[in-house]
Structure formats: C-alpha cells, structure tokens
Chains A and B, each alone.
Chain A
Amino acid sequence: MADTNVKPDKVVEIPLSTVEIPVGPQHPAVHEPILIKVYAEGEQVVRAEAHTGYNHRGIEKLAEKKSFYQDIFLCGRVCGICNSVHADCYVRALERILDKDPPPRAKYLRTLVMELERLHSHMLVLAVTAEIVGFDTLFMHMMRDRELIMKAKEIVTGNRVLADYIMVGGVRRDLNSEKVDKLKKILSKVEPAIKHYQKVYEEDVTLRKRLVGVGVISPAEVTTHGLLGPVARASNIPTDARFHDAYDAYAEVPFRVITRKECDCWGRSMVRFEESFVSIEICRYILNHLPQGEAVPDERRLPRRFPEGEAFTTVEAPRGELTYYVMSKGGISPYRVKIRTPSYNNIINTVPFYVGHTIADVPTILASYDPCISCMERAVIVDLRRGGRRVVSLRDLARGVA
C-alpha cells in the first residue's frame, strides 16, 4: 500500500497527507474497465471519483441512423448480460407507437427469458462478490451452477448469451413440451444449489465481516440520488418496474417484491438471493401456465414505416429499472432514442458513499452495486458532498489519469 507516513518536510512543495489511489481501469478487483479514483488518509477514503468512458460507443446517435427494426439488435447489444431486457424495453416502446399488442403466449415467453436472465445475472454478481472478498472457491462453484441457467436460456432462445429473441409483435421461437420438461429439470437442480450458497453467505464469518455494515445507504439517500433495483430494495424502498408497470406477463404472474432493511452490501446480496428464488417461482409458473396460441409473428406483415408518436417504457433489469424513450416522426428510423440504464444511476450517483470506508472496502461496495460498465456511458464525476484536500482540475483528471 502507498506510503502514508511521509513527513511534511520531505515533500516541502506539496504538503499532502492525502494519497491518491486509482482502482482500475484495469484492476484485479474490477471485472470491467472503470476507474474509481479514491483519495485516502491512512486507510480511510476521504474522497472518491468515478471515471468511465472506456466503453463509450455512441449508441443513441447510431440508433437514429438505423431503422426501427435494426435497432432491436443494436439495443440488444448495449449489454451482454441483460440483452433481453434491453430488447424487450425497446420493442415494447415500438409496440406502443404502433398500438400493437403481442399475443399472451409471447408475453409469457418474454417474461420467462427475462427471469432466466435475472437469475444468471444475480448468480454472477453474487459469485463476483465472493471472489472480491477472497472466497474464490465459492465463485467457482456458483459460476459452475450458473452455467445451467445459460443452458436453459439456450434451450428457450437458441443462444447462450445474446438472445436476440424478442421481436415486434412476439418472439422468435416457440417452446414445445419436451423443452418445457428440460427447463423444469434445470430449475429443480439450480434451486437447491442457490439455497446452499445463500446459507454460505449467511454463515460464513469472512463474508459477513466484509459485507455487514459496509456501504450503508439510507432510504432517503436512495431516492434523492435516484438509486434503483436491488440497491434501492436493500434499503427498504419497494421500487420494482415489474410491479409499477406490470408489463408483459407480470400483470398475471404472481410474484413478490423483495425488500430488506439492512441498507448495506450484505442486504443487497440477500435481496439478490431472495429474488433468485422469486425468479425460479415465476419461471415455474410460466412453464405450468403457458397460454396456447401463436407466439411467433409473421415478420413480413410488420409495417416498415412507423406512424408519428412517442413512448416511454420501463423494464426491471437485473440491476434495476431500465428506461427507453423512443420518438418517431414517421418513416423508417426513430427520431430520438434515449436509453437510461440502471448502472448509469447506480454507479455515478453512489460515488459520495465511498467516503468514510477503508480502501479495501471500495471494490466490495462497487461490486454490491452490480456495475455493468457496458451499460454506462462516459463520465467524470466529482464528489458532490465534500471536497478532498487536494484540488485537481477536471481537465487534469481527464488527461492525467494513468
């Protein structure tokens, strides 16, 4: 660790007791390129900044240049982990503009895919949290069992990761009874495994020491900073777009909104565990109550040109509420597409909350927000609450960061 005991007389010109430590953009504890620049006094963080921009791709501008239908694939590629929720949110905005409603079977199948996605996403972040804490064995075991869900997703959509499953007016593939049986088997294998991992999280001394009471965010701070998803629900704010918007089959499928009162990293992990069980219940319900009828529309009958209109749709992605705004002025391309991902709020707006923790807690807290860097865009943020002792100009920060 950096030397914090430098005596003032040795650094006459710049008397600094604050040490600047860049965590990332390439760092063993960070799985995607992001830079959390922390300023520490001793072990304690006194100021933090998040620098992103290592994945900026200009997707909103590109979406204006492509056609409405091409954008479905573009939106699916905003994020690898939660590609179906992106496609679903965008497609539902198009369907609102067209005043078209997909058949019930398609709605159920969309919900099934999105819940499988939530399941593997939650398993991923829980595994990564364990790894960051230093519990590599748990990471390996969880990733092994997560593969079962990837297989389930492949059975439904034909693809393990990028599904490209959702299309205007329905989905691309239907399920038969053989596949339904396979999926049920997979779910019955995964459920006890996740229960076991939850028990490990609850009982392991190291995990509790590293997670309990770390990264506490109060309910009022959650709403004033616009935090979303499991981060908000772990602070007892019952925000869930599945419940607020009741899109696709969520109006008919019974489910619970999980909230916890811990407000810390451990609470967020527990929210994710409990939500995994809710997802499994939803998947089971869907497989048992799949409506009959068509799910795959005839693509040739879809209108090429769109009417004028605008729509704002939301979806509960694994990381929180994802929103799409699509505006059409007629023609074949959208006039404006605005994507707001949950990580965008959760990572940028939580920067002040690192202050007061130790340096070793920084990666743990970051992981507890489940950062998806591909979802975010380019930003340089300064702590809003208090300035550090060292003043660095924004230009220097942007250019001088190694």
Chain B
Amino acid sequence: MSGVGGEGAEVPEVIKPIANLVKEVDVMKPGRVVAVIEPEDVPKAYAALRDHYGETGLYFSTLVATDLKDEGRFRIDYYVNVLAKNQYVVLRTHVPRDNPKLPSILPETPAALPGECEAYDVLGIVFEGNPHLRRAFFVPEEVAEKGIFPLRKDAGV
C-alpha cells in the first residue's frame, strides 16, 4: 500500500512526516488538514508525528467518533494540535459498523484515555489494547445494562 506521499506536491507540509501512511488529504473548515489513514496505522501515525515535532511540539486534543449509518461505518477523527506548526491535524479513519475495532493509541499518549473510553461507551467502538474500556463510563447504568449505545443513530434513545 502506498500513500499519496509518493505523488509529491499535494501533501501539506504539516503532515509530511506521515505522508507514506496517508491515503487521502482533505481540508475541514476552517483550514484543518485532514489526513485519511487506515485504522491499524493510527498509533504509528501519531507516534511519527510526535517523534518529528517532539513531545512538547504537539498534543492530542480530542477524539470525535461519528456514526455514519448510511455508509455502514463509524468515522473516528483524532485531533492533534501541532504547536510547532500552529496548525490542527485531523487523523481520520473508518471502521465497519458490524466489527468496530481498531488499535488504541493509549500506549502513545495517555491523553487519549477519556476520548477512547467515551467512544466505546456511547458508540461501542472497541479500542484494542485499552484496558480501561467499560460501559457506564458516561452513559447511565440503566441504559448501559440494556446494551444500548446512545449515540448510534439506530439506538432509539
């Protein structure tokens, strides 16, 4: 698998360190660079960015998981604030709705802990390697006990 990096010019400067992993580049308003990558590459991509910009050159800001029911998949966006470049990078990946699993980036940054736990609790996305995933993290226990993931579009909440 080769990324868009091989084709050269179109990869924005800020995501050059992960050019070989990027499948597609997009821009989210206002001016956030979106790098679409494979789910299994997420920890690698974050580690590559961190190694390039240094530990104090960036921080993991937030994780946004969205249920794209019509496309049959979940979309997971990792927002990384690259302080060194004064720019936001969005690592975007997709997992199928019927088997929502991807590796956790917790070993790379402890800042992802609440984001991953929340995404598991409200959408049922499993981050493999995160030992702290549990239901009723956010969701009230009576909802969690019924096995409902409230932010899924077909949850009926």
Contact = CB atoms under 8 A, between A and B. Distances in A.
Interface residues of A, number: 46
B86 interface: yes
A379 B140 contact: no
Contact of B150 (A61, A97, A227, A310): A61
A312 B32 contact: yes
B9 interface: no
B62 interface: yes
Nearest to B132: A382
B44 interface: no
A54 to B, nearest CB: 12
A226 B86 contact: no
Contacts of B58: 223
Instruction: Determine chain B's interface SS by DSSP, over half rule.
Output: mixed
B56 A219 contact: yes
A343 B30 CA distance: 24
Q: Main SS of chain A's interface residues?
A: mixed
Contacts of B132: 381-382
Contacts of B28: 310-312
Contacts of B83: 223, 237-239, 244
Given A56-B140, A60-B151, A321-B61, A223 B56 contact: yes
Interface string A210-228: 0000000001101111110
A377 interface: yes
A173 interface: no
Contacts of A310: 28-29
A244 B138 CA distance: 31
B151 A237 contact: no
Interface in B42-84: 55-62, 64, 66-67, 77, 79, 81, 83
Nearest to B30: A96
Contact of A325 (B60, B77, B141, B151): B77
B151 to A, nearest CB: 6
A114 interface: no
Contacts of B118: 377
B29 A224 contact: no
A224 B138 contact: no
Interface in B127-153: 132, 134, 136-141, 150-151
Contacts of A358: none
Interface stretch (A39-47, A72-80, A277-285, A344-352): A344-352
A394 B134 contact: yes
A60 B55 CA distance: 32
A327 interface: yes
Q: Which 8 A-B pairs have the closest CB atoms?
A: A226-B111, A340-B62, A378-B138, A96-B29, A223-B59, A311-B29, A338-B64, A348-B114
Given A321-B81, A345-B111, 5 more contacts: A56-B138, A226-B109, A239-B83, A313-B30, A378-B140
